[in-house]
Structure 1
Amino acid sequence: MKIALPGLALAAAILTSFTATAGSWQQGVAAGGFDNVHIYTPDNRSPIGDGQALLVLLHGCVQPIDAYLTANLEEAAEEFGMVLAVPEAMHKAGYGCWSYWEGERTRTAGDYGKLVQLATGLAADRERDIDPAQVYIAGLSSGASFAHTTACLAPDVFAGVGASAGPSIGTSAAGALGPCENADVAARCLSYAGSHAPHFASQVASFAHGAQDSTVNSCYAGQNARGMARVYGVEKLRGTSTISEGSGTAEESRWDDGRITTLTLDGVDHAWSGGSRASGKYISDAGINYARYLGRFFAASNHRVAGHSQTQPDTN
Structure 2
Amino acid sequence: MSRRKSPLVSALFKLTRAGVRQSARIGQAAARQGVKAGGRLAEQAGRALSAVATPAEAPGAVAGGRWHEGRWGLGPLAMRRWRLFIPVGATARKPLPLLVLLHGCAQDSAAFATTTHAAAVARAKGFAVLLPEQGQDANPQRCWNWFGSEARVGLETQTLMAIIDHVVQAYPRVGGPLFALGLSAGGAMALTLALRHPERFCAVGSHSGAAPASARTPLQAGQAMRGRRSPDADAIALRLAGRPLPPLLLIHGDLDPVVSFDNAEAAAGLWLELLPEGVPVKETAGELRRGSRRSVARRDWKRGRHLAVRLLRVHGMGHAWSGGAAGQAFSDPSGPDALRLAWQFFETVMEQAPPAPV
Aligned counterpart in structure 1 of residue 331 of structure 2, from 283, 291, 296:
283
Aligned counterpart in structure 2 of residue 149 of structure 1, from 192, 209, 226:
192
- Is the contact between residue 145 and residue 152 of structure 2 (CA under 8 Å) also seen in structure 1? no
For residues 256-284 of structure 1, give each alpha carbon's deviation from its aligned partner in whole angstroms, at most 9, with x where no partner exists: 02221001123432122234x45423222
Q: Which residue pairs with 1:58 in the alignment?
A: 102
Q: Which residue pairs with 1:11 in the alignment?
A: none
* Counterpart mapping for 1:4-153 below 5 A: 23-27=65-69, 29-33=70-74, 34-43=79-88, 50-71=94-115, 72-90=117-135, 92-93=138-139, 95-104=141-150, 109-125=154-170, 127-131=172-176, 134-153=177-196
Aligned counterpart in structure 1 of residue 322 of structure 2, from 270, 273, 291:
273
- Write the distance in 1 (CA, Å) between the matches of 2:255 and 2:89: 35
Deviation at 1:98, TM superposition (A): 1.3
- Is the contact between residue 80 and residue 299 of structure 1 (CA under 8 Å) also seen in structure 2? no
Secondary structure of residue in 2 paired with 1:102: coil
For residues 83-128 of structure 1, give each alpha carbon's deviation from its aligned partner in whole angstroms, at most 9, with x where no partner exists: 1111112463453221112232699x31201221222333344542
Q: Which residue pairs with 2:271 in the alignment?
A: 228
Q: Which residue pairs with 1:259 in the alignment?
A: 308
For residues 225-264 of structure 1, give each alpha carbon's deviation from its aligned partner in whole angstroms, at most 9, with x where no partner exists: 1110122246251332314266243221101022210011
For residues 172-210 of structure 1, give each alpha carbon's deviation from its aligned partner in whole angstroms, at most 9, with x where no partner exists: 33455454123245334334434xx4243xx21101111
Deviation at 1:162, TM superposition (A): 0.6
- Is the contact between residue 155 and residue 199 of structure 1 (CA under 8 Å) also seen in structure 2? yes
Q: Which amino acid aligns with 1:213?
A: D
Secondary structure of residue in 2 paired with 1:269: coil
Aligned counterpart in structure 2 of residue 213 of structure 1, from 256, 262, 284:
256
Q: Which residue pairs with 2:230 in the alignment?
A: 183
Secondary structure of residue in 2 paired with 1:163: strand
The farther-off stretch of 144-153 and 29-38 is: 29-38
- Is the contact between residue 188 and residue 209 of structure 2 (CA under 8 Å) also seen in structure 1? yes
Secondary structure of residue in 2 paired with 1:187: helix
- Is the contact between residue 323 and residue 338 of structure 2 (CA under 8 Å) also seen in structure 1? yes
- Is the contact between residue 208 and residue 262 of structure 1 (CA under 8 Å) also seen in structure 2? yes
Secondary structure of residue in 2 paired with 1:220: helix
- Write the distance in 2 (CA, Å) between the matches of 1:297 and 1:125: 28
**TM-score (normalizing by structure 1):** 0.77
Secondary structure of residue in 1 paired with 2:199: coil
Greater gyration radius: 2
- Is the contact between residue 44 and residue 78 of structure 1 (CA under 8 Å) also seen in structure 2? no
Q: Which residue pairs with 1:164 in the alignment?
A: 207
Secondary structure of residue in 2 paired with 1:244: coil
Residues 273 and 117 from structure 1, CA distance in 2 versus in 1: closer, same or farther, beyond 3 angstroms? same
Aligned counterpart in structure 2 of residue 295 of structure 1, from 340, 343, 349:
343
Residues 44 and 274 from structure 1, CA distance in 2 versus in 1: closer, same or farther, beyond 3 angstroms? farther
- Write the distance in 2 (CA, Å) between the matches of 1:120 and 1:246: 41
- Is the contact between residue 178 and residue 203 of structure 2 (CA under 8 Å) also seen in structure 1? yes
- Is the contact between residue 307 and residue 349 of structure 2 (CA under 8 Å) also seen in structure 1? yes
Deviation at 1:54, TM superposition (A): 0.7
**TM-score (normalizing by structure 2):** 0.68
Note the residue ranges of structure 1 that are not aligned, 5 or more in a row. 1-20, 307-316
Q: Which residue pairs with 1:238 in the alignment?
A: 284
Q: Percent identity?
A: 21
Deviation at 1:31, TM superposition (A): 3.3
- Is the contact between residue 274 and residue 285 of structure 1 (CA under 8 Å) also seen in structure 2? yes
- Is the contact between residue 255 and residue 261 of structure 2 (CA under 8 Å) also seen in structure 1? no
Note the residue ranges of structure 2 that are not aligned, 5 or more in a row. 1-61
Deviation at 1:38, TM superposition (A): 1.6
- Is the contact between residue 166 and residue 216 of structure 1 (CA under 8 Å) also seen in structure 2? yes
- Write the distance in 2 (CA, Å) between the matches of 1:92 and 1:274: 29
Residues 102 and 68 from structure 1, CA distance in 2 versus in 1: closer, same or farther, beyond 3 angstroms? same
CA RMSD in angstroms comes to 2.9
Q: Which amino acid aligns with 2:286?
A: T
Q: Which amino acid aligns with 1:155?
A: P
